[in-house]
Structure 1
């Protein structure tokens, strides 16, 4: 992967992701100091979901009018401008009300929603076909490493530098990210489309492509079920499981999260090192990991021993990562390169919506029926996804073509 543009993409995205973590850590501290209420803290994931969902809905219009690189650069630049306003107003106390902070949070998530499909669709254009799985694995490992270490580092920086200064540090990271993304060179031809008379058609185009193509439809049914089932791993449900079922202290919440992220990182490394093997057996890999992830989710929900839970959650992260990278690579390989932005726009909207509503539903199930039951339901859903894959496995060719010029 010698492409300079690929390096600019993952470096720029890494600075942006690290800044996102620091910014969230700072905002948690700021919101709690202003409100002393956990309700406002719960707004963070909700606003992230809402902002990204809304921008995901309209992103096809943006992607039809501008190049992927331009969308990525302007998305990050817009986030940088909003964060500058937030940092300046918090530092000078011009406007530090809770509603001003909330509005800034929403718009940062909104602009981030443009970047996600643009990044996923741009990556296959910057590497050689035979390097695609390795590139996806590498980017995933970097992202998970940032998630693993960023929260701890963010907390330390807030304690040392102060909340407002960490916001300014995030601003600096966003500036560097924007510059690096500007250095990306995408040689794929592009022709802007007049969207005035075709707005509804363009908004629905990604959904139509997914629905009409049996392979895309099957992949997104799996992704939809996963988005619902993976809600059980959010902090609110996992925290209750640790205290009520594993019967250990809060520190184990950190252990469990660390084990999960280490599994994700190792899964990405394995995919990178064995990319050729997984590509040759991509159909079998998708089927095997689908069964594996449902099994470990069920076992985790039925287990009550903390030490065993660490091993299970590590395996869950590892298998989920291999499955996710494999499906991502397969989709990028079989789709026409000009269709990928439309497909990813619909996909990110679908995941945001499913995850957002499932959070409320599973939260209610955990409260009124029991937190163990949520993992059993999630495991059954994932088992249903694996069974569905077996019934439609003939749609997935073992010798898929890496035709990105078609």
Structure 2
């Protein structure tokens, strides 16, 4: 993990992730001041996810034609340029058309949608195989720390400097990230793949890779259930839970989120500390914590004691982190360098689409019935995923792809 390229990757990605949070916080502040419309604010995460979904579908075309490093750099540089134009538009008040502003959200998310799989697939190229668990743990710790502090820091900066200035700060963060990404040295030489058939065949590559492998298919079945179930942690549902079940102020939504992210950071440290034991028991970690997430989600949804909800949220964060690192390590150790970015592209498209659909479904469920029903349904879906993992436990072994 002393590899300089790995250092450039995680620092650059951290700057980019912090910039993503800052620009969304700044944009929401600007839109709220100008429109005061909750519907307009809801369009920001929707188009953000929709852009990532479309990008995930199309990314195999780019992954066959450009190296991972090129995709990461071009994406980050393009995001920087787009956000610079948006900052100028907002600063000079050249337009107040919401659709113009939202279109920037879509395009930036689209660019990020094919860079994210490339960045994830770059990590195992830069560290030794016996350091993958430690590298994944470290990367997760850094990522969740950025998430933990980014939203609070972004809100504070918006309050002090205004949304327009926060977007200018984001441009600077994106620029730093772009420069750092250029310093990465990919040890694997890129070979451009020329397709003999139609481009539609290329678009199916990632899906075919996942479908053909029992391991990849099983992991993605679990991901599908979790993508549906974990939407109960979005703000609109947690706000209702905090108000109607816990009987607390909106501030407790922030406390619960903080507890969850602290749990994810703690989970990363646990995995990093017990690397050898974790690596030897990847299958059992995956199955055990799949059940753990289901049980903790149910306990959280049924509790009416505020401090206990924080405890369950933190334990959930720990379980989510350990299970996610196990799942990632299975993929990184089994997939070839050509397969891995396409598998991550499939994941990005799946999660983005299912998040958008389940947000609407769980939002309607919460509005029609008690919010606790949403958490019970979520726990049941997670339980089904855990049972599926236990039944198919034999497929969870590392098999190097040819």
Q: Same fold (TM over 0.5)?
A: yes
Count of matched residue pairs: 402
Asked if 1:324 corresponds to 2:324, the answer is yes
Query: What SS does the corresponding residue of 1:323 show, helix, strand or coil?
Result: helix
Indicate if the aligned counterparts of 1:34 and 1:98 stay in contact, CA closer than 8 A: no
State how far apart, in whole Å, the 1-side matches of 2:68 and 2:206 are: 16
State how far apart, in whole Å, the 2-side matches of 1:104 and 1:322 are: 35
Query: What SS does the corresponding residue of 2:204 show, helix, strand or coil?
Result: helix
- Residue 185 of structure 1 is matched in structure 2 by 185
- Residue 128 of structure 1 is matched in structure 2 by 128
Deviation string 1:243-301 (CA, Å, 9 cap, x unpaired) is 00111111111111111110011001111111111001111111110111111011111
State how far apart, in whole Å, the 1-side matches of 2:381 and 2:161 are: 45
Out of 192-201 and 212-221, give the one that drifted further.
192-201
Shift of residue 195, structure 1, vs aligned partner: 4.4
- Residue 144 of structure 1 is matched in structure 2 by 144
Deviation string 1:43-72 (CA, Å, 9 cap, x unpaired) is 111011100000111011011100000001
State how far apart, in whole Å, the 2-side matches of 1:245 and 1:62 are: 47
- Residue 235 of structure 2 is matched in structure 1 by 235
Shift of residue 198, structure 1, vs aligned partner: 3.2
State how far apart, in whole Å, the 1-side matches of 2:36 and 2:254 are: 23
Asked if 1:266 corresponds to 2:266, the answer is yes
Query: What SS does the corresponding residue of 2:338 show, helix, strand or coil?
Result: coil
Aligned ranges 1:327-338 → 2 under 5 Å: 327-338=327-338
- Residue 390 of structure 2 is matched in structure 1 by 390
- Residue 154 of structure 1 is matched in structure 2 by 154
Shift of residue 200, structure 1, vs aligned partner: 1.1
Shift of residue 89, structure 1, vs aligned partner: 1.1
Query: What SS does the corresponding residue of 2:78 show, helix, strand or coil?
Result: helix
Deviation string 1:304-345 (CA, Å, 9 cap, x unpaired) is 111111100110001011000111111111112211011111
Instruction: Output the TM-score relative to the length of structure 1.
Output: 0.97
Asked if 1:362 corresponds to 2:329, the answer is no
State how far apart, in whole Å, the 2-side matches of 1:89 and 1:45 are: 21
Indicate if the aligned counterparts of 1:56 and 1:113 stay in contact, CA closer than 8 A: yes
State how far apart, in whole Å, the 1-side matches of 2:12 and 2:229 are: 31
Asked if 1:82 corresponds to 2:64, the answer is no
Shift of residue 354, structure 1, vs aligned partner: 1.0
Deviation string 1:14-64 (CA, Å, 9 cap, x unpaired) is 000011111011001100111111111101110111000001110110111
Shift of residue 196, structure 1, vs aligned partner: 7.5
Shift of residue 386, structure 1, vs aligned partner: 0.9
Asked if 1:63 corresponds to 2:63, the answer is yes
Classify 1:107/1:196 alpha carbon distance in 2 versus 1 (closer, same or farther; 3 Å): farther
Aligned ranges 1:366-381 → 2 under 5 Å: 366-381=366-381
Aligned ranges 1:333-352 → 2 under 5 Å: 333-352=333-352
State how far apart, in whole Å, the 2-side matches of 1:242 and 1:159 are: 24
Instruction: Output the TM-score relative to the length of structure 2.
Output: 0.98
Indicate if the aligned counterparts of 1:8 and 1:181 stay in contact, CA closer than 8 A: yes
Deviation string 1:346-384 (CA, Å, 9 cap, x unpaired) is 111011111110110011111102210010011011111
Query: What SS does the corresponding residue of 1:295 show, helix, strand or coil?
Result: helix
Out of 157-166 and 272-281, give the one that drifted further.
157-166
- Residue 353 of structure 2 is matched in structure 1 by 353
Indicate if the aligned counterparts of 1:290 and 1:382 stay in contact, CA closer than 8 A: yes
Query: What SS does the corresponding residue of 1:245 show, helix, strand or coil?
Result: helix
- Residue 17 of structure 1 is matched in structure 2 by 17
State how far apart, in whole Å, the 2-side matches of 1:342 and 1:144 are: 24
Indicate if the aligned counterparts of 1:89 and 1:96 stay in contact, CA closer than 8 A: no
State how far apart, in whole Å, the 2-side matches of 1:86 and 1:144 are: 27
- Residue 43 of structure 1 is matched in structure 2 by 43
Shift of residue 193, structure 1, vs aligned partner: 2.4
Asked if 1:223 corresponds to 2:202, the answer is no
Q: Which runs of 5+ in 2 are unaligned?
A: none
Asked if 1:100 corresponds to 2:97, the answer is no
Deviation string 1:118-142 (CA, Å, 9 cap, x unpaired) is 0111111011001111111111111
CA RMSD of aligned residues (A): 1.2
Out of 154-163 and 353-362, give the one that drifted further.
154-163
